[in-house]
Amino acid sequence: MLIDEKIYARLALKADDVYPIEAPNGFAVPCVVYNILTETPVRDISEDAHMASFVTLQVDVYGLDTVEVLKLGRVIRRDFLNWADDDVTVLTNDDQKRFLDNTTDVDLFRMMLIFKLYVRDDEA
């Protein structure tokens, strides 16, 4: 399974509406939008030498209510920081910011989370 699919699957356990890169027009809130910002390939020279990548992931949580956004953001942050399996280990939550996005239709609250992941997968 590709890292994009793993990220989507993990986020979909926490939020009903999850979108890669950008939300479509008319999206429902609350929702989560994620984007892989960087992938840096590395060769793991451990016993079972394999390819791996350091991945920088941005996760944005959107909603109409700041408390709703903060709660969902904290749930995602806690879940991701505990993510360690055979293929993926979340190393850090590098940054966390809160915004008010003023659009022409509505004010959306947004929480942005930045994670660093170590992905042990030739398909990263």
List the chain domain ranges.
Answer: 3-119
Band (46; pLDDT cuts 50, 70, 90): low
**pTM confidence score:** 0.86
Q: What is the Cα–Cα distance from 103 to 114, expressed in whole angstroms?
A: 23
57-115 pLDDT, tens digit per residue, is: 999 999 998 899 999 999 999 999 999 988 899 988 877 777 766 665 678 899 999 99
The topology under which CATH files domain 3-119 is STM4215-like (3.30.2000)
27-42 pLDDT, tens digit per residue, is: 889 999 999 999 998 8
* Contact in structure between 64 and 32 (CB atoms under 8 Å): no
Half-sphere exposure of 106 (CA within 13 A, CB side): 11
Check whether the bond before 30 is cis (ω within 30° of 0): yes
> Closest Cα to residue 45, out of 112, 124, 120, 101?
120
Q: Helix, strand, or coil here: 2?
A: coil
